[in-house]
Amino acid sequence: MPTSAETVQALSQIVGSAHCLSAAVDTEVFTTDYRKLYRGDALAVVLPGSTEEVSQVMAWCHAHQVRVVPQGGNTSLMGGAVPEKDSGAIVLNLRRMNRVLGIDPINDTLSLQAGVTLSGARAAAEGAGRLFPLRIGSEGSCQIGGNLATNAGGTAVLRYGNMRDLVLGIEAVLPDGRVYSSLRGLRKDNTGYDLKQLFIGSEGTLGIITAAVLKLYPQPRAVSAAFIAVQDPAAAVQLLSLAKQMAGPHVTAFELVSADAMTLVCDYLGGARPPLAGSPAWMVLMEFTGTGAQDELDAHLGAVLEAGMDKGWVQDAAVAASLSDVQAFWRLREEISDAQTRTGGSIKCDVSVPLSDIPAFIEEASARVQQLAPGSRMVIYGHMGDGNVHFNPLRPADVPARDYLDAHYHEVSTAVDSLVHQRQGSISAEHGIGVAKRDDLRLYKSEVELALMWQVKRALDPQGLLNPGKMLPTP
Ligand code: MLT
Ligand code: ZN
């Protein structure tokens, strides 16, 4: 295995010495995860500027048995994008590959390099009068390559689907340096295995995604949103079903927010005013979008709220009166994540169960948490419309974060995951596996599933060079 100095020397010749870092002061930001929970080290951090350079770097690493951790915006919540300690790996960060390659407004496609940020992709689409619909809180820093590698979800999945649904073609560099390219904007292509889907959601364990062709949609001209007080998650589920029946594809987002989550985020935002009076136990942020007139869309939203009130599912509602109200509502929702990080962190359970099971799941999991860690604040929020809740118990205000997490993290997350599993749910709905959930997979995937995952890994990466130690539990 080459030393760090030999690695730097060889890779500098490919990417240029300014783009091959090895001093700790330069590499730390690439070897530490976003929440500063995972700290590893690397032989070097390499920032290639083209697919050709990625291919040459990979070929050199393949020849010298050097492992590679692909990295986009380093916003993983699961420790998936940083090396582990003594990894003997390099980090290959794609941020220099940030060019939009083309937009075809007739084919409704956007071609770009993998290092374009999500907000950059959305802006490029908007510039052509189109929408790229993926929407997540980290859009200013996360990159399209990482969004693809982790099959990112977020707050508009209900209407548009996950990243897997939003891509038509990708280019990826394989562990031996060869380039797989399917950069085509086809909506129909039944010519055998859909190989690109292997790389999507593979968390960088099979190839390094370097470019993509994404689907675009009509730019909505109207948006209506309301924060709605509901008695409980059961009422929220009924309201969603009603909204889908009455407003069909206008229903773009349906986000659940618990009272503890709202209190936390308002506090984090320096005493922001909650949208609804009287501290309701449960709230929903419902958003409709459309390409028609604003007043028509407002009328649709109003009709759903009225029907929901008649049924007793809507207790109160604050309707956004302007675009800035809509943005303020979304700020409250999106900052819940960072509000938890600021408290020292919660027990993150990013889970999904069939939508019809959500109320019972929340009830039984909450009761279990209170048995195991009494007084926990129940920070429960997220994409209820997709059956995906972020079920994140948080320490009582007077208990130090470290004490709470040391005492309860393992027991609580295991208990929650097992309740999810009993309901045929997923222990990681949208955040992926990384290292955080890697060993838990052994409990929740069947022997056949795990064997197939390893067969795929060995077929594409027989030497185990790509993103070592991530996603796949040791067989
Ligand atoms: C969110 O929905 O806010 C994100 O998935 C991030 C998080 O849960 O922390
Ligand atoms: Zn989320």
Please name the residue that has the structure tokens 């770097």. 57
Ligand 1 pocket (Cβ < 6 Å) reads 77, 137, 336-337, 382, 390
| Residue 474: band (very low, low, confident or very high) from pLDDT cuts 50, 70, 90 | confident
> What are the Cα distances from residue 440, in Å, to 80, 156, 413?
15, 28, 10
Q: What is the pLDDT of residues 250-290, one digit of tens each?
A: 999 999 999 999 999 999 999 999 999 999 999 999 999 99
3-state SS class at 290: strand
Ligand nearest to the CA of 285: 1
- Closest residue CA from atom 6 of ligand 1: 337
How high is the mean pLDDT of the chain? 97
Kindly give the pairing relationship between strand 67-71 and strand 89-93.
parallel
Task: Give distance in angstroms: CA of 255 to centre of ligand 2.
Answer: 10
Identical fold, 222-337 and 346-422 = yes
Residue 100 region, left (φ>0) first, then alpha (ψ -120 to 50), else beta? beta
| Separation of alpha carbons 418 and 425, rounded Å | 9
Ligand nearest to the CA of 257: 1
Domain ranges of the chain: 4-93, 100-218, 222-337, 346-422
Per-residue model confidence (pLDDT) at position 412 = 98
Which CATH number fits the domain 346-422, given the four candidates 1.10.260.40, 3.20.20.70, 3.30.70.2740, 3.40.50.970?
A: 3.30.70.2740
Could you identify the atom of ligand 1 that is nearest to the CA of residue 337? 9
Could you identify the atom of ligand 1 that is nearest to the CA of residue 77? 9
Q: How open is the CA angle 118-120-123, to the nearest 5 degrees?
A: 110
Which CATH number fits the domain 222-337, given the four candidates 3.30.70.2190, 1.10.3720.10, 3.40.50.300, 3.40.50.720?
A: 3.30.70.2190
Q: What is the pLDDT of residues 210-252, one digit of tens each?
A: 999 999 999 999 999 999 999 999 999 999 999 999 999 999 9
Ligand nearest to the CA of 392: 1
Of 382, 123, 148, 366, nearest in space to 255 by CA: 382
What is the DSSP-derived secondary structure letter of residue 135? B
DSSP H helices in 16-108:
24-31, 51-63
| Residue 69: band (very low, low, confident or very high) from pLDDT cuts 50, 70, 90 | very high
DSSP H helices in 218-322:
233-247, 259-268, 294-311
3-state SS class at 443: helix
User: Is CATH 3.30.43.10 correct for 4-93?
Assistant: yes
C-beta of residue 345 within 8 angstroms of C-beta of residue 35: yes
Per-residue model confidence (pLDDT) at position 241 = 98
Per-residue model confidence (pLDDT) at position 475 = 80
> What are the Cα distances from residue 36, in Å, to 39, 82, 208, 344, 345?
7, 11, 24, 11, 11
Ligand nearest to the CA of 390: 1
> Residue 321 corresponds to which amino acid?
A
Kindly give the pairing relationship between strand 89-93 and strand 100-104.
unpaired
Q: Is the pLDDT of residue 1 over 90?
A: no
Task: Give distance in angstroms: CA of 99 to centre of ligand 1.
Answer: 27
Instruction: Write down the number of H helices and E strands in the chain.
Output: 16, 18
- Closest residue CA from atom 7 of ligand 1: 337
- Domain 100-218: assigned CATH number: 3.30.465.10
| Separation of alpha carbons 234 and 236, rounded Å | 5
Tokens of 346: 């919660």
- Closest residue CA from atom 4 of ligand 1: 337
Per-residue model confidence (pLDDT) at position 283 = 98
What is the DSSP-derived secondary structure letter of residue 17? G
Q: How many CB atoms lie within 10 A of CB 311?
A: 12
Could you identify the atom of ligand 1 that is nearest to the CA of residue 153? 5
